Chain A
Amino acid sequence: EVQLVESGGGLVQPGGSLRLSCVTSGFTFSNYWMTWVRQAPGKGLQWVANIKRDGSEEYYVDSVKGRFTISRDNAKNSLYLQMDSLRAEDTAVYYCARDADARCDYWGQGTLVTVSS
């Protein structure tokens, strides 16, 4: 059974940092691109970033470029999102998703990040 479990969310002050993790199981992690998507309270879905199977390519939405870093550890079947210089508008539920040939077919349950003083 494919499983993705996010962790690392919480309350952080503006300007602070958080590192999200997504531990996966049930599939060969190194064979897939992986993606982070977020949903702000009462808002729609926003694609945040994705990373190639071997970590050699990364892409970001403009609003997080230079502040967020996506990474992965294929030996640990894990995906990460390092979030620095956090802003109130980064408050959201963050989902990790498996990227299977141009579609996100499996998703985690999400982890809530709240940026507030």
Chain B
Amino acid sequence: DIVMTQSPDSLAVSLGERATIKCKSSQSVLSSSNNKNYLTWFQLKPGQPPKLLIYWASTRESGVPDRFSGSGSGTDFTLTISSLQAEDVAVYFCQQYFSPPNTFGQGTNLEIK
């Protein structure tokens, strides 16, 4: 199974500042057949289902604010929130879709400093 490791586990950022979350996979999730990275990012708030933010490592889901961006390739990925808003307080997860089981990272708890 592909192991997904996020860092940090917890992060406190001031409003308006940048938040950066890392995700590392134990093997590459880049497909040689289509040159796409099978990596997604989700936001999870209490009492709500996960919300898809980013897929193919860097494609923003429709309706997601453009302050959210994804980058990286192969085994190392980053989710960046360019200017933190109060409503961004949540737990963030990466997930690989390269091969089943489609494992998640352990999550990063994002708070306001």
Contacts and interface: CB of A to CB of B under 8 A. Distances in A.
Central interface residue in A45, A60, A95, A97, by most chain B CB within 10 Å: A45
Contacts, number: 60
Main SS at interface, chain B: loop
Interface in B59-84: 61
A50 B104 CA distance: 14
Contact of B42 (A45, A61, A108): A45
Contact of A95 (B50, B52, B107): B50
Interface stretch (A11-19, A71-79, A99-107): A99-107
A95 B49 CA distance: 8
B97 A60 contact: no
A47 B52 CA distance: 15
Contacts of A61: 101
Contacts of A39: 44
A47 B56 contact: no
Contact count band on B: 20 to 34
Contacts of A62: 1, 101
Contact of B55 (A102, A108, A109): A102
A35 B92 CA distance: 19
Given A37-B50, A107-B49, A107-B50, A60 B107 contact: no
Interface of B: 1, 36, 38, 40, 42, 44, 49-52, 55-56, 61, 91, 93, 95, 97, 100-107
Given A44-B104, A47-B95, A60-B100, 10 more contacts: A45-B107, A97-B50, A102-B38, A102-B40, A102-B55, A103-B52, A103-B55, A104-B50, A104-B52, A105-B61
5 closest residue pairs by CB, A with B: A59-B100, A107-B49, A103-B55, A102-B97, A44-B107
